[in-house]
Structure 1
Amino acid sequence: MGDHLDLLLGVLLVASPVLGISSCSSDGRMALYRFCNLTQIPRVLNTTESLLLSFNYIKTVTATSFPFLERLQLLELGTQFSSLTIDKEAFRNLPNLRILDLGKSQIDFLHPDAFQGLPHLFELRLFSCGLSDAVLKDGYFRNLGSLSRLDLSTNQIRSLSLHPSFRELNSLKSIDFFLNQIPIVCEHELKPLRGKTLSFLRLAANNLYSRVSVDWGRCMNPFRDVILETLDVSGNGWTVDITRNFSNAINGSQIFSLVLGYHNMGSGFGFHNIKDPDQSTFAGLAGSSVAQLDLSHGFIFSLNFRLFETLAELKVLNVAHNKINKIAHEAFYGLDSLQVLNMSHNLLGELYNFNFYGLANVAHIDLQRNHIGIIQEETFRFLEKLNTLDLRDNALKTIYFIPSIPNIFLGGNKLATLPTIRFTANFIHLSENRLESLDNLYFLLQVPHLQILILNQNRFSSCNQGRVHSESLSLEKLFLGENMLQLAWETGSCWDVFKGLPRLQVLYLNNNYLTFLLPGVFSDLTALRGLSLNSNRLTVLSPGNLPPNLEILDVSRNQLLSPDPDVFASLHFVDITHNKFICECELSAFIRWLNQTNVTIFGSHADIYCMYPNSLSGTSLYSVSTDGCDEEEILRSLKFSLFILFTVTLVLFLLTVLTVVKFRGFCFLCYKMVQRLLFEDRTLGRDSDTYTYDAYLCFSSKDFEWVHNALLRHLDAQYSDQNRFHLCFEERDFMPGENHIANIHNAVRSSRKVVCLVSRHFLRDGWCLEAFSYAQSRALAYLNGALVMVVVGSLSQYQLMKHEAIRAFVQKRQYLRWPQDLQDVGWFLDKLSQHILRKEKETKKDDSIQLQTIATIS
C-alpha cells in the first residue's frame, strides 16, 4: 500500500502546474522552476516538498547545490538543455527525498557516490540519460535500502552484470531496461537478484538473444531463484526457435505474467518460410506457473495442435494482432484454467464446432475485428462458463449460433434480421448493423433477464402493423440512437414500442430525425431517469411528453424555438445547447427560468444562443434582456394606466360640470365672445316690407321697471347700438288717443313675434290677456310660432291653467320661464333672441276662417 501511495504522490507532484502554481515561483511547499533558463540550483524555502527544475540549463549538481531541505520528497532535474555533471553525494542535503527524476538529461559524469545519503529514496528515474552498463557494475545504487523502482530504459547499457550491492536492495520491485543494447543475459549476471521477488522486469526492445549465438548450456537460466510477477521480453524479434530455447532455459522459474509481444513467430498470410509455434515451443514453461501469456502483435497464422497443453495454470491468453486464420483440432487442449482468450484483430473467416474444445472454464472470448462470416451452431454451445462473447466488427449475417450467455457483443456486423431463437442474456450489443424492422426490437425485448440493449447505428424505420407489444421486466438501459424511428412513427405504427418496460432507467433516442414525440409514448416508463433526444429535429416539447420521474434530459442540437420552462422544472440536469432559439417575447419566460433555476444546465453559456432575430444571432440567452416582455406586468401597467386615465377624465368631467354649473353665466359669456370672434355675426334682419317690429313685448304696466332693466336694455336697439332688435311696447310705441284694442291689434300685426311676459300682474291685466288672445289667434290662423310665452316669477301650472287662452297655449305649445339664478339671464336672453329671430313657415287660411277666429276671440 505504501508503494502505491508514493507513486500517487509522485504523479500529483509532477502534475503540479495544473494546481495553479505559476512558473518560476514557490509557494513554500511547491517550487516550480521549469523553463526558467536556470544554470544553477535556486535557493528555496526549507519547507519545500517538491522542487521541479526540468527544462533549464543546469550543468552541475554538487553536495553544496542544495540547502538542507528536510521536507523535500520530489526532485525533478530531467530534460536539461545542457549536459549534466553530478558530483559525489550531490543529494546528501535531501535526506527524505522519495522521488528523484533525472530522465532525459544527458549525464556526462555521474560519480559512483552520487546517490549516497538518500536512505528513503523510493523511485529513481534515469531513463534516456546516455548511461553505460558501468552504472550497474560499479555499485552506484548501494545503500539505497528503500529503492523500489529503478528506470534505466533508453540508455546504452550492453551488459546486465549487476554489482553485488544489488543484494542489499531489499525493497527493489521494478527494473526497466527497455530499449538498451543488451544482447544476452545469463545466470551469473543476475546472481545479486536471487531470492528476490520482482513485480516488474522489462527487457523489451534489446534484440535480446536474437543477434548473437547463445550457448544455453553455459548461459543457463538467468532468472534462477528469482520470482517475477511480470517479465516483458517483447520487441526482441524472437522466432519460434529462440522462444523455445528461452522457455526451456527458464524452466522452473516462477513467472506469472510473460509478455512476448511484437515477435517474429508465424508464417504470416501467404508465407511459409517462418514457422508457426508448435507443441514444443512453450513446453519449457510447464513448471513456471505462467498465468498470463501475451503473444500479440506477431505473424502467427495457425494455432497448431495442442499448442498450449503444458500451460495448465494459464488464465489469460492474448494472441491479438496476429494473422491467425486457422485453429487446429485441440489447439487449446490443456488450457483447463483459461478464463480470458483474446483473438481480436486476426484473419479468422469461419469458426467450427471444435475450435474451442478444451476451454472448460473460459469466461471471456474476444473475437472482434476478424473477418468471421460463418459460425457453426455448436461452436460456443458447450462453453458452460462463458460469460462474455465479443464478435464486433466481423461479417456476420446470421446469429443462429448464439448461446445463452450474459454478455454478447455483435456490433459492426451485417445483420439485417434476427432469427427467432430462444436464448438468454443480460447485455446485448448490436449497434452498427443493418436492422430495419422494429420487429427485431420487439423480439429482443422478449429475451429473458436482459438488462442492457445497445442498438445504435442501425436502420430502424419500419414496423409490422399487427404486432403486439412485448414486455421486458428486467431491461434497464436501451440505446436506440442514430436510427430512423421518425419514419416508422409517421406511419402510425409501433407507438407502443416502450410499453411494458417498467424498470427502464436510461433511454437513448438521439439522431432519429424526430420531429415530434408521440402522445404518451413515454407514459409507462415510470422508472426512467435519463433520456437523450440529442440531435433530432424537435421544435416543441410539452410537459406531457416526458416521463413523470425523469431527472436527466439531453435535448441539445434540436430546433427548439420557444420551449416551455415547465417541461424542465422537475429535472435535475438538462442539456439544451445548440438549439435554434427565437429570442422574442415568447421566450422571456424561458430566459427568466434559465437565469433562476436550480436545475444543472450542461454546456457553457456560449452554447445556448439566439438564432433569430439577426440582430441577436449568436448572443447567449444569459445576456438577453426580457424587459418589456412580461405580459402580466404589461397588463398590470395597462390596467393602472387605464384606471389613472379614467379617474383623471372623471375628475376633469366633474370639475367641468361643477364649473359650468357654478359659473355657467360667465361660461356662456365666454362662449358668445368666442363665437363672435370666430364666426361672422349673421343677424337676421326683419322683413321691412311686412313687419315693423321684430317683436311686440306684451307685459303689465306694473312690470315696466323690471322689463326695462331685464329685457329692453339688453335687446332693444334704441337702448344700445349693440342690441339687434326693434321692439314694440305700449309705453313707447302705442299711438296716444288711439283705441287701445286697435293699438294692440296693430302691434301684433306689425311684429314678427309677440312675446308675452306672463306674471302675476299680467294675469290680472285684461288688456294683457286681450293681447295674448289676439296673438294666439294670429298664430293659429297662420299656423306658425309667432307667440312666445315667458312665465315670470313663481307661477304654478294651476295658476296658468285658470285662464282659457293661456290654458289652450300651455296644452299645445312650449313656453319659457324667466331664470331664478341671475347668471342664467344671459343664456335665457340668447335663447329668447333665437326664438325672435327664428323664421316660421306661414300658411295663411281662407278669410272666413280668420274672421271667424277673430270674432270668437273678440
Structure 2
Amino acid sequence: MGDHLDLLLGVVLVASPVFGISPCSFDGQMALYHFCNLTQVPQVLNTTEKLLLSFNYIRTVTTSSFPFLEQLLLLELGAQYTPITIDKEAFRNLPNLRILDLGKNQIDFLHPDAFQGLSHLFELRLFSCGLSDVVLKDGYFRNLKSLTRLDLSINQIHSLHLHPSFQELSSLKSIDFSFNQIRTLCESELKPLQGKMLSFFSLADNKLYSTISVDWGKCMNPFRDMVLETLDVSSNGWTADITGNFSNAISGSQIFSLILVYHIMGSGFGFHNIKDPDQNTFAGLARSSVIRLDLSHGFIFSLNSRLFETLKDLKFLNLAHNKINKIADKAFYGLDNLQILNMSYNLLGELYNSNFYGLTKVAYIDLQKNHIGIIQYQTFRFLEKLNTLDLRDNALKTLSFIPRISAIFLGGNKLVTLPKISLTANLIHLSENRLENMDDLYFLLQVPHLQILILNQNRLSSCNRSPTPSKNLSLEKLFLGENMLQLAWETGLCWDVFKGLSHLQILYLNNNYLNFLPPGVFSDLTALRGLSLNSNRLTVLSSDDLPANLEILDVSRNQLLVPNPDLFVSLSALDITHNKFICVCELSPFLSWLNQTNVTIFGSPADISCTYPNSLSEISLYSISTEGCDEEEVLKSLKFSLFILFTVTLTVFLMSVFIVTKFRGFCFICYKTTQRLVFKDHPQGTEPDTYKYDAYLCFSSKDFEWVQNALLKHLDTQYSDQNRFNLCFEERDFVPGENHIANIQDAVWSSRKIVCLVSRHFLRDGWCLEAFSYAQGRCLSDLNSVLIMVVVGSLSQYQLMKHQSIRGFVQKQQYLRWPEDLQDVGWFLNKLSQQILKKEKEKKKDNSIQLQTVATIS
C-alpha cells in the first residue's frame, strides 16, 4: 500500500500546476526559478515542498548547496545551460525527497555517492545526461531502498552489467533504458534483478540484437526468474527471425505485455526480401503468459496460418498500421481467450467466412481505415461474444453481414440505402455515408434497444411518403447533423419523424439548411435536454418550436434577427453567437434579458454582435443601449394608427398620382421653364414696402453650413444676383455686442416673414425657441400669419409637441417639411418663396378654421 501511495504522490507532484506564482519567486511551499539565470541554489524557506530550478546556469551541486529542507518532496534541477558537477552526498540535506529530476543535463562528473542519504526517494530522472555504463556498474544507486522508478533513457549506455546493489532495491518497479546503445543483453547482466517483479522495463530504440550476431546458447535468457508486467522492445529493427530467437530465449519468463511496435517484420506491399512472421515466430512465448501483444506499425503483409497458436492467454492483439492484405485460414487459431483485436490501418480489401476462425471470446474487432468492400455473410456471425465491430472508413455498400451485436461503427463507407435486416445494436454509427431516403431513418428508429444513433454527414433529403413512426423508448442520443432535412420537410412530409421518441435526451440538427421548423416537430420529445440547431438558416423561433423541458440550446450561426427572450428563460445554457441581429428598438427586450439573465451564454461578447444598421455593424450586443426606444414605441403606435386611417384613401390616391410622383422633379423643371417663357416680359418682383428684410431666417448655428448650401445660396441676393430676397440671419446681420434679445426683436419686427428652420439642434437651442416665441407674439399682434415653420430632418410630430412654444403652432397652423428626395428641393424652394411673398389680409376674424394638416414633402 505504501508503494502505491508514493506513486500517487509522484503523479500529484508532477501534475501540480505552477499557476498563481510568478517566476523567480517562492510562496512558502513552492519555489519557482525557471529561466532565472541562477548560478547556484537560492535560499528558500524550510517549509518549501517543491523546488523548481530547471533552465539556469548552476554548475556545481555539493553538500552545502542546499539548506536543510526537511519538507522538500520534489526537486527539479534538469536542463541547465552549462555542464554540471554533482558531488558526494550532494542532496544529504533533503532527507524526505521523493522525486529528483536531473534530466537533460550534461553531467561532467557524478560522484558514486551523490545519491546517498535519499532513503525516501522513489523516482530518479537521469534521462539525456550523457551517462555511460559506469553508472550501472559502480553502485551509484545503492541504499535507495524506496526507489521505484529509474529513468536512464537517452544516454550512452552500451552494456547492462548491473552492480549487485540492484538486488537490494526492493521497491524498484520501473526501469527505462530506451534510446541508448545496448546492442546485446544476456542473462549474466541482469542477475541482480532476478526474483523481482517489474511493472515496466524498456529497451526500445537500442538496435538490440539487430546489428550483431548473438550466440543464444551462451547468452541465454536475460529475464530469467523475473516477472515483467510490460516489456518494451520497440524500434529495434527486429525481423521475424530475430523475434523468433528472442521469443525462444526468454521462454518461461513471465511477460504479461510485450510491446514490439515499429518493427520490420513482414514483406510489406510488393516486396519479398523480408518474410512475414510464421507459427515459429512467437512459439517461444508459449509459457510466458502473454496477455497483451502489440505488433503495430510494421510491414506484415500476410497473417500466416497458426501464427499465434501458442499464445493461449492472449487477450489483446494490436496489428494496426501494418500492410496486412491476406488472412490465411486459421491465422487466429489458438487465441481462445482473445477479447480485443485491432487490425485498423491495413490493406484488407475482402473478408471471408474463415478469416476470424478461432476467436471464440473476441468482443471487439477494429477494422477501420482499411479498403474493405466485400464481406462474406458468415464472417462475423459465428463470433458469439462479439459486441463491438468497427468498420469505419472502408468501402462497404451493404450491411447484409452485420451480426446481432451491441455496437456497430460503419461511418465513412459508401452505403446508399439500408437493407431491411434485423438489427439489435445499442449504438449504430453511420456518419459520412450516402443515405438519402428518410425511410432509412424511420427504419433505424425502430431498432429495439437502440440508445445512440449517429447519422451525421449523410444526404438525408428525400421523403416520398411519411412511414408510420413506432415508439422507441430506448433512444437517448440522435445525431442528424450535416444532412439536408430542409429538402424533405419543405415537401410537407416526414414532419412526424420524431414521434414516439419520448426518452430522447440529445438531438443534433446542425447544418441541415433549415429555414423553418415544422409545427409540433418536437412535441413528443418530453425528455429532450440538449438541442443543436446551429449553422442553419432560421430567421425566427416561436414558442411552439422548442420542447418544454429543454436545458441546453445551440442556435449559433443562424439568421435570427430579433429573438424573443421568452423562449430562453427556462434554459440553463444557450449558444446564440454569430447570428444576424438587427439592432433596432424591437431588439430591446432581448438586449435587456441578455444583460440580466442567469442563463449561461456560450461564446465571447464579440461573437454576439449587430449586423444592421451599418453604423452598428460588428458592435457587441452587450454594448448597445436601449435608451430612447420608449419614444420610438410611441411613434410606432402613432404611425400604425395613421396607417389604418389612411390606408384605403392612400391606395386610391397613390394609383392616380403615381406617374406624377415618379417624375415630379422633371415635371417641376418643365413647369418653371414654361413659366419663364410665358412671363418673360413681365418679371415678378417684390413690391416696395416698409420692411427692412424680406424674411428673417431663424436656425441653430450648428446647422449654418447646411442652411448656407440649401437655402442662402438659392434665395439670398448677397450670395447671387439671380436671387430675389434680402434675408436676415444672425451670423451676418445681428449687431455684435448688442443684447441678443434686442437683435432677435429687431429681426422679427424688421422682416416681412419669419422662417424658423426647426431641426434637432433648433429644439435644443434656447435662443432659437425664444425667437420662435417672439415670432408668435408678432403673429398675435398683427393678426396675420407671418411665421413660416420648416421642419428639417426626421423629427416626429410627437417630438415637436414636446416643446410648449411650438405645440400651439403645430396644433393650429400648417408647417413645411424639408424634402427627403433631392428631386423635390427645387419645388420646395419655389413653395417657400411664394410663402415669403404672400400678402396676408390685415385681419382674420376666426383663427380656429385654419387647416391643421401637415404639408409634408415626401
The answer, yes or no, to whether TM exceeds 0.5 is: yes
Cα deviation, 1:711-770, whole Å, max 9, x if unaligned, reads xxxxxxxxxxxxxxxxxxxxxxxxxxxxxxxxxxxxxxxxxxxxxxxxxxxxxxxxxxxx
Q: Which residue matches 2:735?
A: none
Alignment of 1:627-776 (within 5 A): 627-630=627-630
The residue that corresponds to 1:143 in the other structure is 143
1:30 and 2:47 correspond: no
Partner of 1:471: 471
Counterpart residue identity of residue 277, structure 1: P
Task: Give the distance between the partners of 2:4 and 2:431, measured in 1 at CA.
Answer: 39
The question of 1:244 aligning with 2:244 is answered yes
Query: Alpha carbons of 1:93 and 1:279: their partners in 2 closer, same or farther (altered >3 Å)?
Result: same
Distance 1:677 1:330 in 2: 120
Judged with a 3 Å threshold, the aligned counterparts in structure 2 of structure 1 residues 677 and 544 are, in CA distance, closer, same or farther, namely: closer
Q: Could you give the per-residue CA deviations for residues 685-716 of structure 1, whole angstroms, max 9, x where no partner exists?
A: xxxxxxxxxxxxxxxxxxxxxxxxxxxxxxxx
Separation of aligned partners in 1, 2:468 and 2:637 = 57
3-state secondary structure, aligned to 1:150:
strand
| Aligned residue type for 1:318 | N
Which residue is 2:485 aligned to?
485
Hey, what does 2:546 align to over in structure 1?
546
Summarize the alignment of residues 590-629 of structure 1 with structure 2, pairs less than 5 Å apart: 590-629=590-629
Query: Would you say the 8 A contact 1:132–1:158 is kept in 2?
Result: yes
Q: Contact 2:40 / 2:58 at 8 angstroms: preserved in 1?
A: yes
- For 1:471-512, what per-residue CA distance to the aligned partner results, in whole angstroms no more than 9, with x for missing partners? 322111000001111111111111111111111110000111
- Structure 1 residues 8 and 636 mapped into 2: Cα distance closer, same or farther (>3 Å)? farther
**Matched residue count:** 645
1:748 counterpart residue number: none
1:161 aligns with 2:161: yes
Contact kept in structure 2, 1:443 and 1:470, CA below 8 Å: no
Seen in structure 2, the aligned counterparts of structure 1 residues 552 and 2 have a Cα distance that, compared at 3 Å, is farther
SS of equivalent to 2:415:
coil
* Residue number in structure 2 paired with 1:282: 282
Gaps of 5+ in 2: 639-777, 785-858
Distance between the aligned counterparts of 2:383 and 2:131, measured in 1? 52
CA distance in 1, matches of 2:98, 2:520: 63
Q: Contact 2:585 / 2:632 at 8 angstroms: preserved in 1?
A: no
Offset, 1:13:
4.0
Larger radius of gyration: 1
Per-residue deviation, 1:637: 14
Identity of aligned residues (%): 80
SS state at 1:64 partner: helix
Question: How far apart, CA to CA, are the structure 2 residues paired with 1:616 and 1:677?
Answer: 50
The structure-2 alpha-carbon separation of the partners of 1:679 and 1:438, relative to structure 1 and needing over 3 Å to count, comes to closer
Task: Report the residue type matching 1:498 in the other structure.
Answer: F
Checking the alignment, whether the CA contact within 8 Å between 1:391 and 1:410 is kept in structure 2 is yes
Q: Deviations over 1:538-566 (max 9, x none)?
A: 11111210011111111111111110001
Flag the 1:93–1:438 CA change in 2: closer, same or farther, 3 A. Answer: same
Aligned to 2:826: none
Determine if the alignment matches structure 1 residue 377 to structure 2 residue 360.
Answer: no
Alpha carbons 1:387, 1:407 under 8 Å: kept: yes
After superposition, the C-alpha distances for 1:102-122 in whole angstroms (9 at most, x for unaligned) are 111111110000001111101
The letter of the residue matching 1:527 is A
Distance 1:199 1:676, change over 3 A: closer
- 1:549-564 pair list within 5 angstroms: 549-564=549-564
Partner of 1:804: none
Aligned residue for 1:732? Answer: none
Change (3 A) 1:465 1:170: same
- 1:271: Cα distance to partner? 1.1
TM-score by length of 2: 0.73
Residue 474 (structure 2) pairs with residue 436 (structure 1): no
The residue identity in structure 1 corresponding to 2:283 is: A
What is the SS of the residue equivalent to 1:592? Answer: helix
1:531–1:554: 8 Å Cα contact kept in structure 2? yes
Check 1:540–1:111 CA distance in 2 against 1; reply closer, same or farther (3 A cut).
same
From the superposition, tell whether residues 309 and 679 of structure 1 become closer, same or farther in structure 2 (CA, over 3 Å).
closer
Which aligned pairs between 1:814-829 and structure 2 lie closer than 5 A?
A: none
Distance in 1 between residues matched to 2:365 and 2:780, nearest whole Å: 115
In the alignment, which residue of structure 1 is the partner of 2:412?
Answer: 412
Question: In structure 1, what residue type is equivalent to 2:186?
Answer: C
Please tell me whether the aligned partners of residues 393 and 412 of structure 1 are also in contact (alpha carbons under 8 angstroms): yes
Distance 1:677 1:547 in 2: 71
Counterpart for residue 360 of structure 2: 360
The 10-residue stretch of structure 1 (2-11 or 108-117) with the greater mean CA deviation from structure 2: 2-11
Match of 2:572 in 1: 572
**Partners of 1:628 and 1:634 within 8 A in 2:** no
Alpha-carbon distance between aligned partners in 2 of 1:408 and 1:612, rounded to the nearest angstrom:
48
Which SS does the other structure have where 2:544 is aligned? helix
SS in 2 for 1:595: helix
The 2-side partners of 1:348 and 1:676 are apart by 104
Q: How does 1:313-392 map to 2 (within 5 A)?
A: 313-392=313-392
Pair 128,523 (structure 1): closer, same or farther in 2 beyond 3 Å: same
2:22 aligns to what SS in structure 1? coil
Deviation at 1:633, TM superposition (A): 9.2
1:446, CA displacement in angstroms?
1.4
Q: Report deviation, 1:676.
A: 14
Q: What is the letter of the counterpart of residue 248 of structure 1?
A: N
Equivalent residue, structure 1, for 2:271: 271
1:9 Cα shift?
Answer: 4.2
C-alpha distance in 2 between matches for 1:103 and 1:135: 15
Q: Using a 3 Å threshold, how does the CA distance of structure 1 residues 178 and 630 change in structure 2: closer, same or farther?
A: farther
Contact 2:41–2:58 (Cα < 8 Å) also in 1: yes
Distance in 1 between the 2:525 and 2:629 partners? 37
Query: Which amino acid in the other structure matches residue 69 of structure 1?
Result: L
Structure-2 residue corresponding to 1:422: 422
Q: Distance in 2 between matches of 1:675 and 1:554?
A: 65
Structure 1 window deviating more from structure 2 (487-496 vs 9-18): it is: 9-18
SS for the counterpart of 1:19 is coil
For residues 57 and 488 of structure 2, what CA distance do their matches in structure 1 show? Answer: 69
Contact (CA 8 Å) 2:173, 2:197: kept in 1 or not?
yes
TM-superposed CA distance for 1:470, in Å, is 3.5
Task: Kindly report the root-mean-square deviation, in angstroms, between the aligned alpha carbons of the 2 structures.
Answer: 2.0
Matched position secondary structure for 2:629: coil
1:198 paired residue number: 198
**CA-CA distance at 1:582 after TM superposition:** 1.4
For residue 178 of structure 1, what is the aligned residue in structure 2?
178
Aligned equivalents of 1:620, 1:299: Cα separation in 2: 56
1:634 and 1:318, CA in 2 relative to 1: closer, same or farther beyond 3 A?
same
1:604 Cα deviation from its structure 2 partner: 2.0
Shift of the alpha carbon at 1:264?
1.0
Q: How much has 1:527 moved relative to structure 2?
A: 0.8
Q: Distance in 2 between matches of 1:9 and 1:49?
A: 12
User: Cα offset for 1:20?
Assistant: 1.6
Shift of 1:632: 11
Whether the 8 Å contact between 2:557 and 2:578 is mirrored in structure 1 is yes
Residue 468 of structure 1 deviates from its aligned partner by: 2.1
Deviation at 1:523, TM superposition (A): 0.4
- Structure 1 segments, 4+ long, off by >3 Å, are 1-18, 630-638, 674-680
Tell me which residue corresponds to 2:792.
none
Q: Could you tell me which residue of structure 1 aligns to residue 118 of structure 2? A: 118
Partner of residue 403, structure 2: 403
- How far is 1:18 from its partner? 4.5
d(CA) in 2 for partners of 1:631, 1:9? 67
The question of 1:258 aligning with 2:244 is answered: no
Whether the aligned pair in 1 keeps the contact of 2:408 and 2:427 (CA below 8 Å) is yes
Alignment deviations for residues 663-691 of structure 1 (CA, whole Å, 9 cap, x no partner)? xxxxxxxxxxx9999699xxxxxxxxxxx
Name the CA distance, whole Å, in 2 between partners of 1:467 and 1:636: 48
Residues 6 and 633 of structure 1: CA distance in aligned 2, closer, same or farther (over 3 Å): farther
- 3-state DSSP class of the match of 2:136? helix
Give TM-score, length-normalised by structure 1: 0.73
SS at 2:167's partner residue? helix
Partner in structure 2 of residue 718 of structure 1? none
Within the alignment, does 1:51 sit opposite 2:54 as a pair?
no
Instruction: Give the Cα–Cα distance (whole angstroms) in 2 for the partners of residues 542 and 375 of structure 1.
Output: 49
Kept in 1: contact 2:331–2:355 (CA 8 A): yes
Give the Cα separation in 1 of the matches to 2:393 and 2:783. Answer: 103
User: Which moves more between the two structures, 363-372 or 7-16?
Assistant: 7-16
Letter of the 2:232 counterpart: D
> Which residue type is aligned with residue 402 of structure 2?
I
Residue 526 of structure 1 corresponds to 526
Q: Distance in 2 between matches of 1:116 and 1:604?
A: 55
